[in-house]
Structure 1
């Protein structure tokens, strides 16, 4: 990801030390920024979770207290039974003289004033008693809209029949209004004469909602929070903002839950809402607070994080400069030597005393240069047969471009601090170099040739990342029979597939299968390599040219490089014209290259090579 970002920013041509410094800074700035952000978010989230867990419990307790207070108020009508005179008045028939009626009204009103409106019941605003078409009333505050023909009419049915539970009447359900619009609720309870087994009246107790305010504020003292109580229809019976009492909550239909906490988002500030429902009263208690007020104390954590972040950036910037110079200095020297070797200068020697991956790579490079120089000198001193010279030259060539590109990829991995990747690539490259220069035999075990191409493809995979995928299937009978193969016959084919495939494809897939097959020509078993790719394919005209070149070109120049003709020529020179390469390609779909060689073990390969050594490990003189 970082390499693609650098490419987009056109930083590939920037000095490696500058890119390392930039990467080090990014590796400090980004993590510390994320640390600060995550700390702030986590702290804010923990506060939100704590409030979200605490508030429902608080509301549940407040709900219980409100239910208990309502239950206490609902038991007030039972105080009538403490006075025999009051019960006697309620038992009288409604047909009585005006004088007697006025006496009863005065007596009952006075009793209710003394009993219900005294100091022990500060929340009671007024008491109304309806009995046999008589209305008794006593109030602390002036009121209107409550008489037998108005508010009482809807509840006349309560005067007969079975005794009902106390009922709560909301202001919206009656025309009763108190002076200054004091918020209230009506508790209605029937008065049952148990001796005569009949209902003798219904009492209405107007209760001021200040008791809810006291209960809720005993738990929540944050003036930034909103508390309200509403019924299931959303009508607010109580609200910390008195102007909202009696209004409706338009969001109740969209509440995801009625017991717990949730976050709201919308045009206004985000809020944390906690709710709990009273099953006994049918009320919903709601606590709502803007989230920004929950995280006011996180400013200190944020400020400390910023100061720590600045300090770490300064320290790591100094370390980045020092480390980048230590890393890039030997790489720059090694890169220059690689370019000299690419131009044909093999006299350079790069000695590093370090034992890290760069030092290992330098020593492998020295070994490669030394071996290459010795091979060149030997070719000039000794005259050998043309066939042996051609095979030796073809087998001994090494592509400096591949090594240079690999070093570039290693350099990018160092920039990205991918230590494991650097170690793996240096190890793979070292093993490839040892395989390339340490074995003078023309034939090697098939397993080693496969290991070499697996190392090559793995390095290319590090370079091209997701653009390249591959799979290698080695038959069990190949390793079991210890079969041998000419050296370097897979790499040129795979190089060719990668070169042409990635020029036109965003992604390339290479499949390699190695197994034994029976030859219909000779009746013997052959080792067959099948290399398939999903590249652009080969046009028909170009396909004809390649097949003609494979049939006619049995000798190839040393400077011609690795390629299909190179591999085919070597196999034909070693094993005869019945072996070699076959091409199958569909333009726009992909290409398959089939390599066929005789299935021979180590003894036969050594005899064919003139008794030469065929093991893959170098001798002491070659190391």
Structure 2
């Protein structure tokens, strides 16, 4: 179907108009989509960057406030006085100092909306202070990891990432801020101030991140360890994903594609300026660029609508322009099939009209020429056909009369009678000039008359087998096509052979063709000592080609153990 469209004039016009119409449309649609897609992507990325930075700055500012609280407490004279107290100084004196510290911590924490437990742990084990009801066991001994971290910190303060459950508040602690408290004069360590940051604080901050369904936000410390995240809550203390760790830690900010739990995502990250923490927002790509899909669908629908309009217009134009050409082409096909009574009758004043007039003149001249040539060729062909037929009958008659002569010399009167009777039937069939076409059954009977004469000549030397499909009996065939082939098999195949032989006459239908195979086990092709080998076969082949066409005639099948000549003619009703 497609190849027919490509070959036809109308099809080529249609394809041409289609290309002219759709190509610019597709180009403009693609350009508009690319520009729109780029603009939307830039706006989305810019919006997310800004949002992440704003929330990051808010978080950074809050954490810096907590650190300033710890710094203020560590420099407080009241705190240092408390930590320098001895147990022997008396309860009343210690009570007064504790109240001063309470006022200080309350003053620092009351202005903050989030609850932040503050612990002051002195080197002297009885110097302990807590804004909560109790001191967590993890801070009861100075051998804990948090104190080691503070001691090793360059600025006497550290931020320690851990997830710990506070049973008294039923809250998770994810971050601890710690700082040394030193004596101003001797720089001796008097104790430590510790602030615990609850996870709910980060949740409140991260709620300000622009909501995308299925997004997650991670807060990482300076070492790339996850402090908390918005969704999972079970990765605190673990390093960020190995395959993306270097990307985040080695750059101040940026974005990258990633795959988290078999979901394609986009990641946006920034670095908090004060704490050096990293904030990473991860959003599923299908959610992030959902608006882009709507735009893609819109562009596709618009492109399809205009494409259909373009196709319709191309089809309309190509049909109108190609209709007279197709009409003229149809007339030419009719002429090709032999119909010379055609005429281009469209009234047009353009080049196609001139072409139609020239076609009509050409047909008229062609008809006149054919009429002259056809009559001449028909007469020549008929004369050649009759000449070939006349060559077949005398050849056999001469052979038969020679046999009768031999039998007369031998005084075989009964054989002479049978042979003359068979010869009479043969000649009566041959001399019947009603038609050159007979039924296959009639022609097979003529072959049998011929073989009757030959069997009288050769006796039991030749065994004859007929295998003809009865469906062929009523079909028409040209006279004397089978008999010369049988005669050729006997004279040039079986007669020179020493000993007995056979001849098979087969008739069947194959691939909508009528086929006759004449088989014998004689001396084979080219081995006959008798003159005239192949003359009968050439005459039959020529007769078939003159009457039926050049694609029909005789052939010699290969790879057979016996000699076979195959006659092929069309299967006509």
Normalized against structure 2, the TM-score is what?
0.48
Larger radius of gyration, structure 1 or 2?
2
